[in-house]
């Protein structure tokens, strides 16, 4: 790491704030950083961050006057908001944390190893992998999907997503390893990542890089097209309306 990560800490309980500083001090050798400031309430946090910019804020949720969720929502209005790691004794704020794009969600008492994992996630956001989508990082401002799952918030690299499929009120995000449930709009995701995903059905976007080919499948008296995926057994149906995608891919492969 060329420059130590700048960290700002917020907790309305001084013992918890002191404990967090002690844990961070123990992490200093493994993860160089500098604590640029601390606060015990939301209003002070917002004013101090103007004077002491931070790369990441470790933020309590249940605080008087202004909750950590409200603080995080205000931070999203900044031109360059810090990454947010929530630290709380309560498990039931996962969805709210997702809504404000939290990087991670730590349950108190915070463990040394778990804090290190969260801090490394911040670094992953700051330094997208070479196999990631630098263009999306520049144009759209995010390289990861934020997924809330059983009281924890996971970061899933956009570059790892093979397809996004709308099912009821959720979207299934499929990587080569597993599925995640994402709360988002398929239409909005299509607009945001138009250079990476292509719509093949009203309920499905597929990553261009995940497409291995197309196949015509007989059935019901009339054949239809499916997408073949790299390293995945699933076959995704192509709707009549989106069959022009097949021609576009064929033209691309021919030109290549």
Domain boundaries, position 59:
5-127
Which of the two residues, 133 and 144, has the higher pLDDT score?
144
Is the pLDDT assigned to residue 124 strictly greater than 90? no
Q: Are residues 38 and 118 in the same domain?
A: yes
Q: Full-prediction pTM beyond 0.75? A: no
Q: Looking at the predicted structure, is the pLDDT value of residue 133 above 90?
A: no
Q: Are residues 219 and 165 in the same domain?
A: yes
pLDDT in tens, 63-113: 988 999 899 989 888 888 899 999 888 776 555 666 677 888 888 889 999
What pLDDT band is residue 2 in, cutting at 50, 70 and 90? low
Does residue 140 belong to any structural domain of this protein?
A: no
pLDDT of res. 139: 43
Q: Are 93 and 86 in contact (CB under 8 A)?
A: yes
- Is residue 201 located within the same domain as residue 244? yes
Is residue 144 a part of any domain in this protein?
A: no
Q: Are residues 81 and 174 in the same domain?
A: no
Judge contact between 23 and 110, C-beta under 8 A: yes
| Residue 131 pLDDT | 37
pLDDT higher at 108 or 144 = 108
Q: Is residue 71 part of a domain?
A: yes
Which CATH number belongs to the domain containing residue 75 in this structure? 3.40.50.2300
Q: What pLDDT score does 119 carry? A: 92
User: Contact at 8 Å (CB) between 117 and 104?
Assistant: yes
Which tokens is 130 given?
A: 């070479």
Strand order in the sheet with 197-201: 179-182, 170-174, 163-167, 204-207, 197-201
Residue 170 main-chain phi, psi, to 5 deg? -115, 165
Helix (H), strand (E) at residue 249:
helix 244-255
Peptide bond into 109 cis (omega under 30): yes
**% pLDDT > 70, the chain:** 85
Instruction: Give burial (CB, 10 Å; 0-12/13-18/19+) of 179.
Output: exposed
Min mean pLDDT across 37-51, 116-130, 188-202 is at 116-130
Same domain, 175 and 111: no
> CA 126 to CA 142: how far, in whole Å?
10
Q: What is the mean pLDDT of the chain?
A: 84
One domain, residues 164 and 229:
yes
Domain end residue (candidates: 85, 109, 127)? 127
Query: Given a cut of 80, is residue 4 above it in pLDDT?
Result: yes
């Amino acid at each position: 790491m060329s420059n130590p990560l700048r960290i700002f800490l917020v907790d309305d309980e001084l013992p918890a704030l002191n404990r967090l500083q002690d844990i961070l001090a123990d992490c200093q050798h493994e993860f160089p950083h500098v604590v640029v400031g601390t606060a015990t309430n939301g209003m002070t946090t917002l004013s101090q961050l103007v004077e002491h910019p931070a790369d990441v804020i470790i933020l309590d949720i249940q605080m008087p006057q202004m909750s950590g969720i409200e603080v995080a929502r205000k931070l999203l209005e900044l031109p360059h908001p810090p990454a947010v790691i929530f630290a709380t004794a309560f498990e039931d704020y996962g969805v709210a944390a997702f809504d404000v794009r939290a990087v991670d969600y730590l349950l108190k008492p915070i463990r040394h190893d778990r804090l290190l994992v969260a801090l490394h996630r911040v670094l992953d956001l700051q330094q997208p992998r070479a196999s990631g989508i630098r263009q999306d990082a520049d144009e759209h401002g995010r390289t990861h999907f934020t997924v809330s799952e059983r009281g924890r918030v996971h970061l899933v690299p956009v570059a790892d997503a093979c397809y996004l499929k709308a099912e009821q009120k959720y979207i299934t995000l499929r990587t080569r390893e597993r599925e995640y449930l994402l709360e988002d709009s398929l239409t909005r995701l299509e607009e945001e990542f138009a250079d990476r995903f292509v719509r093949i059905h009203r309920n499905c976007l597929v990553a261009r890089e995940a497409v291995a080919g197309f196949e015509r499948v007989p059935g019901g008296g009339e054949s239809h097209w499916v997408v073949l995926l790299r390293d995945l057994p699933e076959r995704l149906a192509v709707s009549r309306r989106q069959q022009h995608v097949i021609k576009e891919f064929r033209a691309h492969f021919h030109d290549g």
